[in-house]
Amino acid sequence: MDSFEITKLAGLVIGAYVLGSVPSGLILTKRFTSVDIRTEGSGNIGATNVRRLAGTKLGAFTLAGDFLKGALPVYIAGVITGCETAFIELYISVVAFAVFFGHLYPVFLKFQGGGKGVATAAGSFLILSPWAFLAAVTAFTIVTYSYRRVSAGSLVASTVLPFAVWFAGDSGYYTSCAVIISIFIFFRHRKNINRLLAGTEPVL
């Protein structure tokens, strides 16, 4: 692998992190409302808080933005590496984690105040493992609408994801990536977990 190839691959990892750092919800609410989602509601910049504070339409656009920024760099990574690259699965996993990590700890917000990563992770795994993505989304939908709590659905989906990736027979690297991402999602939901246990978590 020559220096140009190394630079190109490294550049995509950095670009994935930067793209992940783009706070879709914050940009949309600042542009179209007077709400500061960082100080109101849950204080989170994700789609759920945007929907609650700024309406369903902006919540949906935030969800789409966070989802697409997870999918795009992973798709590009698969295209530019090609099937002849020996470490393609490891590299694509690194790109997926980079965009996810950017969403959690965005450079544009001084590495603080990022989202919880569920939509961005979903976008990445739509490309990495479509069947696992479908299993996780199904689990999310059933739990969220059964218990009327998005956080419960997110936690169950993130639990299902690594097992679904493994069961689908995908790369061990993809499975490891799913495990690491799920751990981070649980960490970012620790306040929600406390509220779920206390019975004080907000409903839909």
For 17-76, the DSSP string reads HHHHT--HHHHHHHHH-S--TTTSTT---SHHHHHHHH-HHHHHHHHHHHHHHHHHHHHH
pLDDT (0 to 100) of residue 150: 95
For residue 152, the model assigns a pLDDT of 96
Q: What is the pTM of this model?
A: 0.94
Task: Tell me the pLDDT of the chain (204 aa) as tens digits.
Answer: 667 777 888 999 999 999 999 999 999 999 999 888 988 888 889 999 999 999 999 999 999 999 999 999 999 998 887 655 558 899 999 999 999 999 999 999 999 989 999 999 999 999 999 999 999 999 999 999 999 999 999 999 999 999 999 999 878 899 999 999 999 999 999 999 999 999 999 887
pLDDT of residue 8: 81
Q: Which sequence spans correspond to the domains of the chain?
A: 3-198
Q: Residue 100 has which token pair?
A: 């996810």
Secondary structure (3-state) at 41:
coil
The distance of Cα 145 from the centroid of its chain, to the nearest Å, equals 20
Q: Six-digit token pair at 169? A: 């027979």
Of 52, 54, 50, which Cα lies nearest the Cα of 23? 50
Give the pLDDT confidence score for residue 184 in this predicted structure.
98
Distances (CA, A) of 7 to 20, 77, 124, 153, 187: 20, 13, 22, 39, 33
- Smallest Cα–Cα separation from 50: which of 26, 20, 19? 26
**pLDDT for residue 119:** 97
Say what the pLDDT of residue 83 is: 58
Q: In 10 A of CB 166, how many CB atoms?
A: 18
Q: What angle do CA 100, 102, 104 make, to 5 degrees?
A: 75
The pLDDT score that the predictor gives to residue 1 is 63
